[in-house]
Amino acid sequence: MKLTGAQAIAQAMKMHGVQYVAGVPGRDCLPLLDALLDAGRDIPFIQVMQSKSAVHLADGFHRACGRPMAVVGGVSGNDLAIASDVGSMTEHSSAALLLRGYAAAGKYSPKRITPRKASNTQIGMNAFGTAPKRWNPRNARDLLGVLPLALGDLLASQPSPVQLDVSLEVQVEQIDVDVSLLQSVGTPDLPDADESLIEQAAALLGASVRPVLFVGIGAVTSNASEILVKLASKAGAAVVTTASAKGVIAEDHPLSGLSAGRFGTGVGNAILARADLVLVAGCTDSDWAAIQNSSGSKTSTDAQKLITFSPGSVSGKQPRLCISADLSRSLSGIAQSISTYRSRRALAQHASWLAVVQQLKARWLRMVEDRSGLLKTPFPAQRPIAKLQELMSRDGLIVAGPGTALIAVQQVFRAYAPRTQLTCANSPVTGWAVPAAIGAKLAVPARDVVCIVGDGDFLQSIPEMAVCVMHSLPLVFVVLNNCGHMSTRFLQQKLLGRHVGSEFNLPNGRPYSPNFSDIARSFGLEAWRVEYESQLESALSRALSSGGPALVEVLTEREDTASLTECWDGFGYEGGQASTCRPERSFVE
């Protein structure tokens, strides 16, 4: 079959189930876009308003369903944002095919695109910073060799984004293509764990007194949720997740210790701090760094208390046991090694520990309920989020932007299944949440998807509301409007004693804000502005049932940091008294 380079790319994407391509049309990628219109290679194109939004949209799509989509951009204008905005993707084990078109110097004519003679330059591949693996085929023949490898990385069990730089010459160059050779070259699976290591892990869990499974995003991408719950149930271990893995165990499960880390819950941090053995499954370096900064205990950072599934050291120390093998199969092996007799013994031994976990969790949830039920205006950030939890189904999906929105969602909104709470906790990026929510809705169109975002963050991605209207996406935006980047201001005050550039004010010092509900209506969304408690439930209910894109603007308290973790000290394993010291205006007085 005679195909151009661009048609070969479209053919390969179609064969591998790529459902959408997003981007901003530009001269450097015109042949790529045109190839998406061919019968048999047709893939819907999602036109975004800003180039970086295409990357975030693909990120949200993959995190919601586990399948990749593609992003098309070029070197002209702001399309180079593709290289700098992929950090959140790599931090959260997300994937997309990033296609970047470019014109070789002196070879582009606005009137006509002509291929040059195929170069014999070798295929280039490199990685820089948080950028994806990068391929730069020099001619169409090189491209045919690259595509199966690139798609193999994209579809691996531990996926990663892949960038393909394709010149205009390669895009239009024709070549005979054997379509069967475009099938992806699978990356080798990780090996099964050594049986002796599996047995050691099972024995350590059985011998411990206060075991915890600390679970990260790798468990989500490995589809290990079911086996994790089985292992925890047999071993009598609490399960604490990172911010990015919320829902890998339902947070109303008796063994769930909620989430931990900088943006996690006080109870999750407290449980990790009290553990005498932590099995770390699917966590990134960023996850572990967040725990070190949040737990306040040497116990959780003592490498001799750890079982890990990643090679290398933790906090510069070798863990007690390191299993470098497939995560899901290793966890299954450990669970199978715990016989019925060993399980009964472990459950009896850990009963008092699990009772303490339940006490800690119950006390935390009471505090959250008190804060969420506080009736005052402007609203505390927790109030609209708690009301959303009441109105949404258990499989509803939340996308939370950075700052106040992220903190409040992580600490208040319970997740009951994997891939139902998407955040950029490991790599906070303003302007991420809105396009990521659009991607999530494209991935799971039959489920409720709500984007919770602060006003400062929303201002960076307002144009993307047009995408929702043009594609009739019934997506709900909840804008927590506190007139500024107030979580940043809180951090400035805490670290430096003063702040700058984090408030939205008029020259006279009065807070400034546009009317986001009016802006949304001008785009074609249904919208409501909520200033009083009597308006809140009605506005959220109508938005969820509107059948189209909708926005609810909620005026929230400017001085509220949204964090309940700092006003929580829990109580010791032996049972202590709760602290009565609370940061000003951070809890119910």
User: pLDDT tens digit string along 197-229?
Assistant: 999 999 999 999 999 999 999 999 999 999 999
- Give me the mean pLDDT over the 506-528 stretch: 96
pLDDT of residue 294: 56
pLDDT of residue 489: 82
pLDDT of residue 361: 96
pLDDT of residue 84: 52
Residue found under tokens 């990685």:
127
Confidence of residue 107 (pLDDT cuts 50, 70, 90): low
Picking from 145-159, 265-279, 458-472, which range would have the lowest pLDDT averaged per residue? 145-159
Confidence of residue 314 (pLDDT cuts 50, 70, 90): low
Q: What is the pLDDT of residues 456-502, one digit of tens each?
A: 999 999 999 999 999 999 999 999 999 988 888 888 888 898 989 88
Name the residue with higher pLDDT: 165 or 569.
Answer: 165
DSSP string of 349-380, one letter each residue:
HTHHHHHHHHHHHHHHHHHHHHHHT---SSBP
Same fold, 2-182 and 195-361: yes
pLDDT of residue 76: 53
Confidence of residue 316 (pLDDT cuts 50, 70, 90): low
Domain locations along the chain: 2-182, 195-361, 373-564
Fold of the domain built from segment(s) 2-182: Rossmann fold (3.40.50)
In angstroms, how far is the first alpha carbon of the chain from the final one? 73
pLDDT of residue 486: 83
DSSP single-letter state for residue 276: S
pLDDT over 90 at 109, yes or no: no
pLDDT over 80 at 293, yes or no: no
Whether domain 195-361 has CATH 3.40.50.1220: yes
pLDDT over 70 at 122, yes or no: no
Total-model pTM: 0.89
Alpha carbon distance 147, 127 (integer Å): 17
Name the residue with higher pLDDT: 426 or 11.
Answer: 11
Q: What is the pLDDT of residues 176-190, one digit of tens each?
A: 999 998 988 766 667
pLDDT of residue 567: 58
Give start and end residues of each alpha helix (H) in 471-509: 486-496
- Give me the mean pLDDT over the 310-317 stretch: 54
Alpha carbon distance 467, 23 (integer Å): 11
- Give me the mean pLDDT over the 385-407 stretch: 95
Q: Which CATH architecture has domain 373-564?
A: 3-Layer(aba) Sandwich (3.40)
- Give me the mean pLDDT over the 384-401 stretch: 96
Burial of 351 (0-12, 13-18, 19+ CB in 10 A): exposed
